[in-house]
Amino acid sequence: MIQWKLWIIKSKEVFGDDKMAGIKDVAKLAGVGVGTVSRALNKTGYVSEETKKKIELAMKELQYTPNELARNLYHKKTGIIAVLVPDIAYSFFSDLVRAIESDLYEYGFKTMVCSTFKTKNYEREYLDMLDRHMVDGIITGVHSLDIENYLKTDKPVVSFDRYLGKDIPVVGVNHWKGGTMAAERLIEAGCTHVIQFQGSKAVNSPAHDRHTAFARRMENAKIPVMTYELEWNRFDADYFQQVAEEVFFKNPEIDGVFGADLMAVSYMKTALTQGKRIPEDLKIVAYDGTLLTTNIYPEVTAIVQPIETLSKKCTELIVKKIEGGNGEEEGLKDIRIMVDVFLREGGTT
Amino acid sequence: MIQWKLWIIKSKEVFGDDKMAGIKDVAKLAGVGVGTVSRALNKTGYVSEETKKKIELAMKELQYTPNELARNLYHKKTGIIAVLVPDIAYSFFSDLVRAIESDLYEYGFKTMVCSTFKTKNYEREYLDMLDRHMVDGIITGVHSLDIENYLKTDKPVVSFDRYLGKDIPVVGVNHWKGGTMAAERLIEAGCTHVIQFQGSKAVNSPAHDRHTAFARRMENAKIPVMTYELEWNRFDADYFQQVAEEVFFKNPEIDGVFGADLMAVSYMKTALTQGKRIPEDLKIVAYDGTLLTTNIYPEVTAIVQPIETLSKKCTELIVKKIEGGNGEEEGLKDIRIMVDVFLREGGTT
């Protein structure tokens, strides 16, 4: 079992106050955009003489060393970071990707987003591309079954919600707390027959903690819980609808539901279509808290994964690894960043 | 005004039966994946001797010419196609991107997805990257205000829903028909005071046709229509919620609504929260027809943009342009592909 250290991380705590100056600092001081500094350093686009001088002055003042510059060029940086997600159209991932792309832009990087739902070979091909220098780093949120490929590469990788070995920092929310909060909300709401929908257990993801915690809390309260294990790597809406209907009709006694946004909303739709009243007859707590749960009536009570914070952590780490030469910084070993979750009350409990 | 030719296109009609053999055909005959053929041709990864022989035999049989091979290598193909969308987290775009990525994968290409909502400079930086050979082609669905940059490049570009000059093929749905169908559905449902939400008119997009057609059809039926013009490049949910509330409270007489999915669903949520019955008090027709309109109760009646077809057209065209040397094919000038829309009945009319 993985021991999770509860690190409520602030940037300074991880990186220290004497953080090595990065492109962002140079840009700020020179009064130009990070993209401009990036272009000037990597000679990848037009920059006026006046601007070049401003940048050189800023580099000097911040002691952004010539060695780093040489290293950037030597290492043939492309200025592109790949972000791998299982399915770009799945609400949580598209929101996360948008935030990551926006944050990476501020650091002067472009983002290559890749959906790997088609096949697990896709993930391996991206690692190959990484090794051939086409991207400077990868942020991966993919839950493929093979982790050996990640262990072989020495390129900068940051993992989202998946343990990939001690050299790869992992960023995720406090799933244990999330699962406990969800259980407590349904207990408080008076549920007597509860079901939770869990992702495939074949994947080694910290997200499972939420279901372990949920079941445990329910057990403490002596409330029966069914756990339905969803198929691996299925993100399509039709599948969730099918599961919702199957479960709903087989188990009319269910009065409490816990699952990720799309599953929760699919179940809600089925119940409403069959004339159930929410929350009177059925209570629902979703997990993720995306648009799917807020742009609907009634709004769904949800355990929210704070996407902006998750993105900030992932991007700070990948940029740090890239700019720091990946692995030369002792501070980047064994990093597990656990971001706090919170409950957002809706009309379904 | 742009003259739209109604081309209900099938692949053979555009490309002809004597279509030049492409990577897909070689792969099929050799009995391997397109990614494998791509790697063999571009020498971008390991391929066994046995597989190489199979591929060579297939190339010979299909007369996939050595000149093409030389051209691919000469032109330093990266095997990456960039897809630009205004906002990767906006339901319609993330669905479209997923379909495009999947189709491009079948052709042996990787996809770099870019959300440009941050700034229009982002779009120009991508064109620069294209010119520096980092991607082989671009599929763009971005509605930025500058089109001059596209006119300058001679790289392969395919446009989605935006006119960018006669050398760039455009793929889109028949918006005129879509707008007319939406109007007819609301007229049929007995609406007497209708509002339609339109995107910013500062953007030259064929999508506006749906609103022109809608207003015209309503005028024919002598039904008063308000047209609310949304702000440029705003895709965030909070904005739509804000607009929905503003309009709902100011115009209690409205009994019919037409707008893109997220806007329509936001209005529906506001109305339901205020105790309105749907469809009894208020009818709604959405445009796009994504998950937002189906995973909800009641399901929203929608004019559906068939994403799989749109993706197939965009990807066929960009691959054709890339493999054909971009512009050497006369058949690729002045292409406007108009895909048919259809109405999907829900519970809101």
Distance, in angstroms, between B295 CA and closest chain A CA?
6
Total structural domains within chain A: 3
Residue A4 scores a pLDDT above 60: no
Residue A131 — very low, low, confident or very high, per pLDDT cuts 50/70/90? Answer: low
Q: Are residues A197 and A302 in the same domain?
A: yes
The pLDDT value given to residue A68: 42
Query: A66, A98, A121: which is the final residue of a domain?
Result: A66
CA distance A160 to A104: 15
Residue B78 scores a pLDDT above 70: yes
> Among A118, A122, A294, whose Cβ lies nearest the Cβ of B237?
A294
Which chain B residues have a beta carbon less than 8 Å from that of A291?
A: 237, 292
Q: Are residues A18 and A127 in the same domain?
A: no
> Among B89, B129, B265, whose Cβ lies nearest the Cβ of A95?
B89
CATH number for the domain spanning B19: value is 1.10.260.40
For residue B281, is it within any domain?
Answer: yes
Q: Mean pLDDT, to the nearest integer, of A8-28? A: 50
Q: Are residues A190 and A210 in the same domain?
A: yes
> Among B102, B128, B265, whose Cβ lies nearest the Cβ of A118?
B102
Reduced to 3 states (helix: H, G, I; strand: E, B; else coil), residue B142 is coil
Q: What is the mean pLDDT of chain B?
A: 82
Contact B101 A114 (CB under 8 A): yes
How far from chain centre, in Å, is Cα A136?
Answer: 19
Cα dihedral: A145, A149, A154, A157 (round 10): -30
In the block, tokens 């997600």 appear at A85
Helix A175-188 to helix A208-220 angle, to the nearest 10 degrees? 40
Q: Mean pLDDT, to the nearest integer, of A269-290? A: 97
Q: Which has the higher per-residue pLDDT, B95 or B72?
A: B95
Residue A229 scores a pLDDT above 90: yes
- Among the listed ranges A129-133, B59-63, B118-122, which one has the minimum average pLDDT value? B118-122
For residue B111, is it within any domain?
Answer: yes
Q: Are residues B45 and B107 in the same domain?
A: no
Which chain B residues have a beta carbon less than 8 Å from that of A47?
A: none
| DSSP per-residue string spanning B211-262 | HHHHHHHHHHTT--EEEEEPPTT---HHHHHHHHHHHHHH-TT--EEEEEHH
* Best to test chain B binding among A113, A239, A273 (most B CBs inside 10 Å): A113
CA distance B332 to B334: 7
Residue B345 scores a pLDDT above 50: yes
Task: Write the pLDDT tens digit of every residue in A172-191.
Answer: 999 999 999 999 999 999 99
Other beta carbons less than 10 A from residue A223's beta carbon: 17
Residue B45 scores a pLDDT above 90: no
Q: B142: which residues sit within 8 A by CB, 6+ positions away? A: B84, B85, B86, B116, B123, B162
Q: Are residues A90 and A28 in the same domain?
A: no
What value, to the nearest 5°, has the Cα angle with vertex A123 and ends A160 and B113? Answer: 80
CATH number for the domain spanning B101: value is 3.40.50.2300
Q: Which has the higher per-residue pLDDT, B112 or A345?
A: A345
Distance, in angstroms, between A44 CA and closest chain B CA?
9
Nearest CA in chain B to A78: B134
The pLDDT value given to residue A19: 40
For residue B332, is it within any domain?
Answer: no
Residue A266 — very low, low, confident or very high, per pLDDT cuts 50/70/90? Answer: very high
Residue B162 scores a pLDDT above 90: no
The pLDDT value given to residue B2: 34
The pLDDT value given to residue A148: 66
Contact B111 A114 (CB under 8 A): yes
Q: Are residues B298 and B198 in the same domain?
A: yes
**ipTM tops 0.85:** no
Q: Are residues A116 and A32 in the same domain?
A: no
Q: Which has the higher per-residue pLDDT, B10 or A151?
A: A151
CA distance B257 to A185: 36
The pLDDT value given to residue A307: 96
| Residue pair B172/B207 in contact by the 8 Å Cβ criterion | yes
The pLDDT value given to residue A151: 64
Q: Are residues A267 and A285 in the same domain?
A: yes
Q: What is the mean pLDDT of chain A?
A: 82
Task: Write the pLDDT tens digit of every residue in A66-88.
Answer: 444 444 444 557 788 889 888 88
| DSSP per-residue string spanning B84-139 | EES-TTSHHHHHHHHHHHHHHHHTT-EEEEEE-TT-HHHHHHHHHHHHTTSSSEEE
Q: Are residues A103 and A161 in the same domain?
A: yes
For residue B247, is it within any domain?
Answer: yes
Residue A109 scores a pLDDT above 70: yes
Contact A101 B88 (CB under 8 A): yes
Contact B295 A266 (CB under 8 A): yes
Residue B72 — very low, low, confident or very high, per pLDDT cuts 50/70/90? Answer: very low
Q: Mean pLDDT, to the nearest integer, of A41-50? A: 75
Q: Are residues B155 and B45 in the same domain?
A: no
> Among A101, A128, A272, whose Cβ lies nearest the Cβ of B297?
A272
For residue B42, is it within any domain?
Answer: yes
Contact A112 B115 (CB under 8 A): no
Describe chain A by its helix, strand, coil percentages, rounded to 5: 45, 15, 40
Q: Mean pLDDT, to the nearest integer, of A300-323? A: 95
| Residue pair A145/A124 in contact by the 8 Å Cβ criterion | no
Q: Are residues B20 and B110 in the same domain?
A: no
For residue A73, is it within any domain?
Answer: no
Residue A332 — very low, low, confident or very high, per pLDDT cuts 50/70/90? Answer: low
- What amino acid is encoded at B92 in this protein? F
The pLDDT value given to residue A334: 75
Residue B125 scores a pLDDT above 90: no
Task: Write the pLDDT tens digit of every residue in B210-223.
Answer: 999 999 999 999 99
In the block, tokens 């048919």 appear at B340
For residue A118, is it within any domain?
Answer: yes
For residue A71, is it within any domain?
Answer: no
Residue B235 — very low, low, confident or very high, per pLDDT cuts 50/70/90? Answer: confident
Task: Write the pLDDT tens digit of every residue in B48-67.
Answer: 888 888 888 888 888 765 44
Question: What is the extent of the structural domain holding A138?
Answer: 80-166+315-324
Residue A232 — very low, low, confident or very high, per pLDDT cuts 50/70/90? Answer: confident
Q: Are residues B285 and B205 in the same domain?
A: yes
Residue contacts between A and B (CB atoms, under 8 Å): 112
Contact B105 A118 (CB under 8 A): yes
| pTM for the structure as a whole | 0.76
